[in-house]
Amino acid sequence: MAVEKTNNHVLHFLRSAELLKQGAEARVYRGEFLGKPTVVKERFPKLYRHPTLDEKLTHRRTVQEVRSILRCRKAGISVPVVYFVDYTSHCIFLEDIVGSVTVRDYINSAHTSEAKNLEVVARKIGEILAKMHDEDLVHGDLTTSNMLMKRGPGCGEADLLLIDFGLSYISALPEDKGVDLYVLEKAFLSTHPNTEALFETLLKSYSASSKKSQTVIKKLDEVRLRGRKRSMVG
Amino acid sequence: MTVVIGFEGSANKIGVGIVRDGVVLSNPRRTYITPPGQGFLPSETAKHHRGVILTVLKEALQQAGLKPADIDCVAYTKGPGMGAPLVTTALVARTVSQLWGKPLLGVNHCIGHIEMGRLVTRANNPTVLVIALQDIREERLDRARVRICDKLSRKNLVKLRAKIREISPCFCKPFKTIIVPINYHQNGRHSSGGKLPRTGSNPARVIKISNDPSPGYNIEQMAKRGKQYVELPYTVKGMDVSFSGILSYIEEAAHKMLGSRQCTAEDLCFSLQETLFAMLVEITERAMAHCNSQEVLIVGGVGCNLRLQEMMGTMCKERGARLFATDESFCIDNGAMIAQAGWEMFRAGHVTELPDSWITQRFRTDEVEVTWRD
Ligand SMILES: Nc1ncnc2c1ncn2[C@@H]1O[C@H](COP(=O)(O)OP(=O)(O)OP(=O)(O)O)[C@@H](O)[C@H]1O
Ligand SMILES: [Mg+2]
pLDDT tens sequence across B147-165: 222 222 333 332 223 222 2
Averaged pLDDT for residues B29-58: 87
The two beta strands, B295-299 and A137-138, are: unpaired
The whole-chain average pLDDT of chain A stands at 87
Q: Looking at residues B116-129, what average pLDDT do you find?
A: 75
CA gap A78, A63 in Å, rounded: 19
**Span A7-51, pLDDT tens digits:** 677 777 777 788 888 878 899 999 988 899 999 999 999 999 999
Is the pLDDT confidence value at B104 over 90?
yes
Please, which pLDDT band fits residue B250 given cuts at 50, 70 and 90? confident
A39 CB within 6 A, ligand 1:
yes
Residues A186, B171: C-beta atoms closer than 8 Å: yes
Mean pLDDT of B47-69: 96
Res A204 pLDDT > 60: yes
Q: Where does residue B72 fall: left (phi above 0), alpha (psi -120 to 50 degrees), or beta otherwise?
A: alpha
Average pLDDT over residues A46-71: 96
Question: Worst-scoring range by mean pLDDT, A55-64, B19-28, B281-290?
Answer: B281-290
* Average pLDDT of span B165-191: 34
Rounded Cα distance between B178 and B163, Å, is 10
The chain-wide mean pLDDT, for chain B, equals 74
Backbone phi, then psi, for B254, in 5-degree steps?
Answer: -65, -35
3-state secondary structure B116-149: HHHHHHCCCCCEEEEECCCCEEEECCCHHHHHHC
Predicted TM-score (pTM) of the model is 0.74
Please state which of the ranges A94-103, A166-175, B108-117 shows the lowest mean pLDDT.
B108-117
Q: Cβ A48–B312 below 8 Å, yes or no? A: yes
For the segment A92-143, what is each residue's pLDDT rounded down to a tens digit? 999 999 989 999 889 988 776 677 889 999 999 999 999 999 999 999 989 8
Cβ–Cβ under 8 Å, residues B234 and A53: yes
**Min Cα separation A143/chain B (Å):** 8
- Ligand 1 nearest-atom number relative to CA A43: 21
B13 class by beta-carbon count within 10 Å (0-12 exposed, 13-18 middle, 19+ buried): buried
- The pLDDT, as a whole number, for residue B171 is 34
Which segment, A91-100, A152-161, B192-201, B322-331, is predicted with the most confidence on average? A91-100
Phi first, then psi, for residue A126 (nearest 5°) are -55, -45
Taking residues B353-368, what's their average pLDDT? 75
Q: What is the ipTM for the molecules in this complex?
A: 0.80
For residue B97, what pLDDT band results from cuts at 50, 70 and 90? very high
List, in sequence order, every residue forming a beta bridge with B177; answer none if it has no partner: B172
Task: Give the pLDDT band of residue B222 (cuts 50, 70, 90).
Answer: confident
Task: Kindly report each contact of residues A200-207 with a partner whose C-beta sits within 8 Å and lies 24 or more positions away, as own/partner.
Answer: A201/A119, A201/A122, A201/A123, A201/A126, A202/A122, A202/A123, A202/A125, A202/A126, A203/A126, A204/A126, A205/A122, A205/A123, A205/A124, A205/A125, A205/A126, A205/A127, A205/A130, A206/A126, A206/A127, A206/A129, A206/A130, A206/A181, A207/A126, A207/A130
Residue A203: which of A182, A187, A224, A230 has the closest Cα? A182
CA distance B69 to chain A (A): 34
Are A190 and B174 inside 8 Å of each other by CB?
Answer: yes
| CA distance to A2, B48, B98, B296, B332, per residue, from B302 (Å) | 47, 23, 36, 15, 9
Q: What is the pLDDT of residues B288-303, one digit of tens each?
A: 776 677 888 877 667 7
| Helix, strand or coil, per DSSP, at residue B237 | strand
Handedness of CA B84, B87, B91, B93 (dihedral sign): positive
**Confidence band, pLDDT 50/70/90 cuts, at residue B36:** low
**Other beta carbons less than 10 A from residue B213's beta carbon:** 11
**Mean predicted confidence (pLDDT) in A158-183:** 92
Probe site for chain B from A180, A183, A230 (most B CB atoms < 10 A): A230
Tell whether the model's pLDDT for residue A75 goes beyond 60.
Answer: yes
Least CA distance to A165: which residue of chain B? Answer: B238
Give the pLDDT band of residue B262 (cuts 50, 70, 90).
confident
Q: Do A231 and B179 touch (CB under 8 A)?
A: yes
Alpha carbon distance, N-terminus to C-terminus of chain A? 56
- At residue A177, the pLDDT reads 95
Contact indicator for B287, B127 with CB cutoff of 8 Å: yes
List all residues 6 or more positions away from B37 whose beta carbon is below 8 Å from its beta carbon. B187, B202, B204, B205, B208, B209, B211
Q: For residue A54, indicate whether it is catalytic.
A: no
Which of A85, A91, A145 gets mutated to test ligand 1 (max ligand atoms within 8 A of its CB)?
A145
Q: Report which of B2, B113, B259, B240 is spatially closest to residue A187, judged by C-alpha positions.
A: B240
